[in-house]
Structure 1
Amino acid sequence: MRRQFKSNWPLYAVWVTIFISTVAITCFYGSESSSFYGIAETREIVANFESAVEIKRIGVTEGQSVEAGVLMVELNSPELMLKINHISHQLDQLRAQKGVDKSEVLSRLRQLKAEKAARENEIENQISQLENQYRINQSLLSGLKSIPSGLGEESHATNSPMALKIKNLKKELSLSVHPLMIQIELLQKTLASLEDPVKIQVERLEEELSLLQEENSKLNIYAQISGIIGSVNFKPGEKVSPFSPILTLHTKTPSLIKGYIYENAYSGIAMGESVTVSSLALSDHSISGCVVGIGGRIVEYPVRLRKHPDMQVWGREVVIKIPGNNPFILGEKVLITSSVEGTGFADKMKRLFFPSESMADVNPTGQAMVETSTVRSVVPLETGEIEASAMLYLEDIDRYMLLSDDTPGNAPLVFLMNSDGIVTKETTISGLDAIKDMESVAQGEPGILYIASSLNTGNHGKINPLGNRLVAVQRQGERFSLLGMVDLYSLLKARAEQERGADWAEFVLGGMAERSLDLEGMFYKEGALFLGFKAPSLNAHSVIIKISDIDSAMGGQGLKAHQTSIWQRVNLTCADTPTTERISDLLYVEGILYITGTPLVKKGGSRSGSLWALDAQTGIAKRLVSFKALQPEGIAAGKEKQTLMLCFDQGRNEDSKLSVVKVNQ
């Protein structure tokens, strides 16, 4: 036995060496996957303008610290001033032309009236003289005894030259005055018609001039947050093309860390995990952060993080949110250490060969080809948190319009977010005082948006007028202004009471009686607005109501008979998961209706949801993607219509989340 061991000892030595090497490699990669490098970055705000402008004055310099609300740049728009001058000139011409035309017509009218009066006076004087002479002659004839009484008067009255002349003069008076009266009537009509078109045109130009002057008064750029000027790209007097970056502003300290994990050393880091971020320059500088994004693709390492700058290295991005009061310098290289429990040998082996699972599962039975990216968090501005409720892609400015169902003081806030989930601007809808519980948004005709409240009575069962609003909004670039507003709750109730017995009316009135009416999704098509209700349900089906010619209803005319109907009843249930989901948002794009659904759960219950596609031929909804621990609240199609962005509302204590789903039908 001893001889056999001695003869095989080289083989045993090889096995021991392999085992030790395996342990070393595993521990090395385990440490690589739990500790990695990153760069301290910040959210950068780019200041630009939607039309061509000229720099009038720049009040800041690169590296300068500014407070929120400080005037940074004054602009001048030659194009805008040209429009203002052109419209002002048009108004002056119209007003002058209006005065000239009116004075000419009035002058001609006075002339004709004077001519008519003179003609009438002349002929009436002749008639008066002849009638006086006629009466004298009659009195003389009546004194002659040779003429029988009565015969002479009658014969003279009908046959005398003087009587015939009087008769002819009266005819002449009528014939002379009649053409003048016709001309006078025509000029009076001309004068009346002259007022209206010019008045309408003047009012339209005055309104347009007012809007341009208001726009001209906004040719100033103010600091949206307190921070530091990053770069100033122009000088006073230079001209700037539309949407060109004029300057950049970033926070005083880094707000996030972007780290990279080597592609062959996948880490078990998960969304929401706590990590430690340490400075490489000063070892005592460290802070806790939270993972808010994990890249769904392999990208090239930045040169700064490579051990050998000439060698290409590839890995996954990890985005970490850190508190604002951190000790790091912008652009500083840092070390990120995962605090995941279970770093023993077995755990490291498991994490090495079995990366963490995705938070989204593709439905294997669906006919659609679906790819989902890893979920990441919305990164808001310093002004506050966002409870994402609806979103819409604005192609002309390459931004996602994001709504929150809870805003400070029910302010009509609109958040503009880039494709990385970073909110670049926060603005309001001018002209709208307040709105509560914004849950859906739809794109109407070009430049027109519709935003609706949920119509939900809330936990206390009380109807809040601010939560019943449907508003039409005019959008120009990054500016939003109110076009019209109606109380949608009252609008539906009034029409439903008049159409009792109709299926849609019974649905609406039943939901109002139960205090369960909950509008969550909306889309616009061919002049009609389609409303998707989360509650109540009809035989476990979510209901989509169609309101045709929505603009007439928004115009204060109310809903007419047969203008409202149930368009679709949707069953969001699959055999593998018998839990029924309800509509949380709608998106109609390129003939396909996408639906996000969530189950009805009690407060504090587990969150989940799915993305569905409605088969137009069968009316059956097919699940494309299901989400674990996530509740989809909004959906929008990106620049590529097959790329869908979903937002998730995780409540007040968690950041809203985002995910990209690519669908190829």
Structure 2
Amino acid sequence: MRRQNKGNVVLYGVWFIILTATIAITRFYSVESSNFYGIAETREIVVNFEGAVEIKKIDVTEGQSVEQGMLMVELSSPDLMLKINHISHQLDQLKAQKGVDKSEIQSRLRQLKAQKAAKENELKNQIAQLENQYKINKSLLSGLKSIPGGSGYGNDEGRSPMEMKIRSLKEELRLCINPLAIQIELFQKTLANSKDPVKIQVERLEKELSLLRDENSKLKIYAQISGIIGSVNFKPGAKVSPFAPILTLHTRTPSFIKGYIYENAYADISMGEKITVASLAIANRNITGVVVGIGARIVAYPERLRKHPDLQMWGREVVIQIPANNHFILGEKVLITSSLKKARFTDQLKRLFTPSQSIADVLQTCKNFLFQEKILPIIPLETEGIEASALLYLEDIDRYMVLSDDTLGNAPLVMLMDSNGRITRETPIAGLDRIDDMESVAEGEQGILYISSSLGTGRKGKIKAARKHLISVQRQENHFSLLGMVDLYSLFMTHAETAAGKPWADFILGGILKKTLDMEGMMYREGTLFLGFKAPLMNQKSVVLKINEIDQVIKTKKLKPGQISIWQTVRLQRGEDQLQEGISDLLYFEGALYLTGTPLIKKEGSRSGSLWKLEESAGTPICLTHFNDLQPEGVAVGKEKNTLIICFDQGRKIKSKICVVKVK
């Protein structure tokens, strides 16, 4: 009996130890969910050049402090100078040829005019003399009664030799002058027509020369921000391949913290949450930051942040933006404390013994979701001030073209971005002064792009002229130039009034009348442009219009009857209890239509949206993924196979973001 009691005591003791260990581990994870570690990092600018260059001069060294606008590197590009010299020589030849050709034609034209005038004067003088002589003779003979009928100067004038001579000279004048007049007219037409081809060619070369000179001016690289030189990878005289990092520049103090939270505790962090960041080296040195990015997958901890370097740990990345005036050192290890309340003990136990899903808080499956798409990490764009509204992958230069719906002074700027969210170049659309609220882009044929404003009214209920544009743009690598432009808003209104009663016309007129017209999505297929409208709705569905022969529309600025119609109407709503969404972009990919949608009614301070898919054989779109706290504005084919890339507009104060979605 004593032996049995002794065995029970040992058993109870073992269970007590296990329970104590469980509680301790649970409490440990609870602490880990509100306190975790991170590393202070900074915004880094990589200085490179898109062409092969030679380092002419480097004015900075590693660790040097530089001010904004300071000259850092001077490059030289023999290929660029060769192109500039070649085009300059072509221009000189064309201008000289244009002058010679024009002078020759003008000289010949003057000769013909002089010849015509001389011949005309000579024959007219002869005719005038004969006509005067004829009148005198006729007057003298009319008084002689002995000569009946004036001997040919009476009624039968056709028999007069002098009259015959006058008629002969007039006929000779006509036969001589007409060929000369025809030659003069031909030379005049030649002179007029000869100006246009040469003029167009000269203008094209001058524009190309201007772009090359702009590129040449960029061979002197100045500091974009005040900061510290991180690394210098080349010496003067070295030859550098395109896009190779020449040097790096970063801010003097860290701009964000990258932390890692344990995988079984990741649900305690949310976007926009205020976080306390404290130094581990110096007591009472802390600062408040804001969560701006949450990783969408579970990754391995950096070795430096592991409690035991040999023991592998897994967690989720959290990016925290901190004020610029902080006292942290770059690369410093810091303690991050969440402001959220700890979970209840029962929830902690449940979380401990229940495997977590490795999917971000910002993603939420829809009720009619058929299969889970793989979401890669959500990356914030490194450049501030961009409200990403549309994007497009440009395979030949391996860059994403990004549009912002708000630019300084409504400048027609195109941003080129790499896969890491870094803007490597900002370039204007040559030939276009301004455009407002760029919301959509589509790629046509032979390097032609189509960009459109939203056509929406502003806050004061008026639509700006710069918000009415649909433009076609010719792209050559990373250069963009205007091909054509049409006032799409006025074109819609004029044509819809004449076609009133047709579904598309009533839809447009209703949107214009109620000032709700908002076009945010666009795609191109076989000469047809498809326009996706966020608002208004038509029978509680979003509308996609199509315009055939879009190039002809932009060129003539006119719509033919039947050239525009409704292509699709779709209802984007995840459930009856969910907010209905309107189209923010659309994409045709691998036989299916992909759409991004954002709520028609926005809650104060909140942003959200979804990715949808519509098969050609189906009539109802399915929701692939929903984004909490993120507003999807653009979708495009990704760089990798079977991937889409989505950009999120988070407003002016928070950086735009991107993520890649792998689709089946």
TM-score by length of 1: 0.80
Q: Structure 1: which 5+ runs fail to align?
A: 124-148, 155-162
Partner of 1:205 in structure 2? 202
Q: Which of 378, 381, 398 pairs up with 2:380?
A: 378
Matches within 5 A, 1:62-101: 62-97=62-97
**Deviations 1:228-277 (Å, cap 9, x if unpaired)?**
222333344444333222332222211122233455x5433423233332
Q: Which moved more, 1:574-583 or 1:211-220?
A: 574-583
Q: Highest Rg: 1 or 2?
A: 1
Partner residue, 2:252: 252
Length, aligned pairs only: 646
Tell me the distance in 1 between the aligned counterparts of 2:109 and 2:245: 62
CA, structure 1 residues 434+178, in 2 after alignment: closer, same or farther (shift >3 Å)? closer
1:362 paired to 2:365: yes
Match of 1:134 in 2: none
Cα distance between partner residues in 2 of 1:195 and 1:235: 56
Give per-residue Cα distances to partners, 1:143-189, cap 9 Å, x unaligned. xxxxxx99xx99xxxxxxxx9xx99xx99x98xx9999979966984
* Residues 257/477 of structure 1: CA separation in 2 closer, same or farther (3 Å cut): farther
The offset of 1:594, in angstroms, is 0.8
1:497-538 deviations in whole A, cap 9, x for unaligned?
222222211211121112221212112222332111122222
Question: Aligned partners of 2:280, 2:111: CA distance in 1, in Å?
Answer: 97
Instruction: Trace 1:276-355 onto structure 2 (pairs within 5 A).
Output: 276-306=276-306, 314-342=314-342, 345-354=345-354, 355=356
Q: Which amino acid aligns with 1:249?
A: L
* Aligned twin of 1:216: 213
Q: Which residue of 2 aligns with 1:38?
A: 38
Q: What is the rounded CA distance, in whole Å, between the counterparts of 1:104 and 1:515 in structure 2?
A: 61
| Distance in 2, Cα, partners of 1:235 & 1:290 | 40
Partner deviation per Cα, 1:625-663 (whole Å, 9 max, x = no partner): 233454433222211353223334455665545443221
Cα 1:637–1:62 change in 2 (3 A) is same
Q: 1:233 and 2:233 equivalent?
A: yes
Q: Distance in 1 between matches of 2:176 and 2:612?
A: 78
The one-letter amino acid paired with 1:378 is P
Further displaced range: 416-425 or 266-275: 416-425
Query: What's the CA shift for 1:581?
Result: 2.8
Give 1:349 deviation, angstroms.
Answer: 2.9
Closer, same or farther in 2 for the Cα pair 1:34/1:537, shift >3 Å? closer
Who is 2:23 aligned against? 23
1:474-485 counterparts in 2 under 5 A?
A: 474-478=474-478, 480-485=480-485
> Where does residue 583 of structure 2 map in the other structure?
583
Aligned 1:494-505 pairs, distance under 5 A:
494-505=494-505
In the TM superposition, residue 608 of structure 1 has moved relative to its aligned partner by 4.2
* Distance apart, 1:112 and its partner CA: 9.6
Summarize the Cα distance change of 1:399–1:275 in structure 2 as closer, same or farther, 3 Å threshold: farther
Residue equivalent to 1:639: 639
Letter in 1 for 2:8: N
The structural deviation recorded for 1:105 is 7.1
Q: How do residues 165-180 of structure 1 correspond to structure 2 at under 5 angstroms?
A: none
Match of 1:550 in 2: 550
Is the 8 Å Cα contact of residues 596 and 609 (structure 2) preserved in structure 1?
yes
One-letter amino acid matched to 2:269:
A
Which SS does the other structure have where 2:266 is aligned?
coil
1:542/1:570 contact within 8 Å kept: yes
Instruction: Work out whether 1:49 is the aligned partner of 2:49.
Output: yes
- Contact 1:105–1:187 (8 Å) recurs in 2: no
User: Contact 1:405/1:439 (CA < 8 Å) preserved in 2?
Assistant: yes
Q: What residue is the counterpart of 1:489 in the other structure? A: 489
What amino acid is the match of 2:266?
S
Check whether the contact 1:589–1:641 (CA below 8 A) recurs between aligned residues. Answer: no
Q: Does residue 1:451 correspond to 2:451, yes or no?
A: yes
Q: For the residues of structure 2 that align with 1:423 and 1:106, how far apart are their CA atoms?
A: 54
In 2 relative to 1, CA 38–416 (structure 1 residues): closer, same or farther, beyond 3 Å? farther
Q: Determine helix, strand or coil for the equivalent of 1:61.
A: coil
State the secondary structure of the residue aligned to 2:500: coil
Contact 1:392–1:400, Cα closer than 8 Å, also in 2: yes
- Evaluate the alpha carbon distance shift between residue 50 and residue 518 of structure 1 in structure 2; reply closer, same or farther with a 3 A threshold: same
What secondary structure does 2:320 align onto?
strand
State the SS of the aligned residue for 1:13: helix
Distance between the aligned counterparts of 2:413 and 2:191, measured in 1? 46
How big is each residue's C-alpha offset from its partner over 1:15-48, in whole Å with a ceiling of 9 and x where there is no partner?
A: 2222222233333444445444332222222222
Say yes or no: does 1:622 pair with 2:619.
no
Equivalent residue of 1:538, what SS?
coil
> 2:598 corresponds to which residue?
598
TM-score, normalised to structure 2's length? Answer: 0.80
Task: Give the match for residue 155 of structure 2.
Answer: none
1:143 maps to what in 2?
Answer: none
Cα RMSD after superposing both structures:
4.8
Q: Partner amino acid for 2:87?
A: I
Q: Is the 8 A contact 1:271 1:292 kept in 2?
A: no
Distance in 1, matches of 2:518 and 2:118, equals 79
Q: CA deviation at 1:612?
A: 1.4
Amino acid corresponding to residue 465 of structure 1 in structure 2: A
- Report the CA distance between 1:493 and its aligned residue: 0.6
The change in CA–CA distance for 1:93 and 1:628 in structure 2 (over 3 A counts) is closer
CA 1:27–1:20: 2 relative to 1, 3 Å: same
Residue 497 of structure 1 aligns to a residue whose secondary structure is helix
Distance of 1:118 and 1:542 partners within structure 2: 77
Counterpart position of 1:270: 269
Q: Is the 8 A contact 1:543 1:566 kept in 2?
A: yes
Q: Given residue 49 of structure 1, which amino acid in structure 2 is its aligned partner? A: F
Contact 1:267 1:351 survives alignment (8 Å) = no
The whole-number CA distance in structure 1 between the counterparts of 2:226 and 2:563 is 50
Q: CA deviation at 1:84?
A: 2.6
Supply the AA of the counterpart residue of 2:11: L
Task: Report Cα offsets for 1:482-503 as digits up to 9, x if no partner.
Answer: 4444332112111112222222
Maintained 8 Å contact 2:379/2:420 = no
Rounded to whole Å, the distance in 2 between the matches of 1:436 and 1:105 is: 48
Identity, % of aligned positions: 59
- Amino acid corresponding to residue 268 of structure 1 in structure 2: A
Is the partner of 2:10 in helix, strand or coil? Answer: helix
C-alpha contact (below 8 Å) 2:280/2:335 kept by paired residues: yes
Distance 1:552 1:321 in 2: 49
Partners of 2:533 and 2:266 in 1: how far apart? 41
Residues 292 and 377 of structure 1 are in contact (CA less than 8 Å); yes or no, is this contact kept in structure 2?
Answer: no
SS of the residue aligned with 1:204?
A: helix
Change (3 A) 1:109 1:52: same
CA positional deviation for 1:212: 1.7
* Residue ranges of structure 2 left out of the alignment (5+ in a row): 124-146, 153-160
Within 2, Cα distance between the matches of 1:213 and 1:260?
A: 49
CA gap 1:15/1:551 in 2 versus in 1, 3 angstroms? same
Paired with 1:113 and 1:339, the residues of 2 have a C-alpha distance of 94
Residues 58-207 of structure 1 correspond to what in structure 2 (within 5 A)? 58-97=58-97, 189=186, 193=190, 196-197=193-194, 200-207=197-204
Aligned to 1:242: 242
For 1:294 and 1:362, the matched residues in 2 are separated by 17
Instruction: Give, in whole Å, the separation in 2 of the partners of 1:352 and 1:292.
Output: 27
* Residue type at the aligned position of 2:89: H
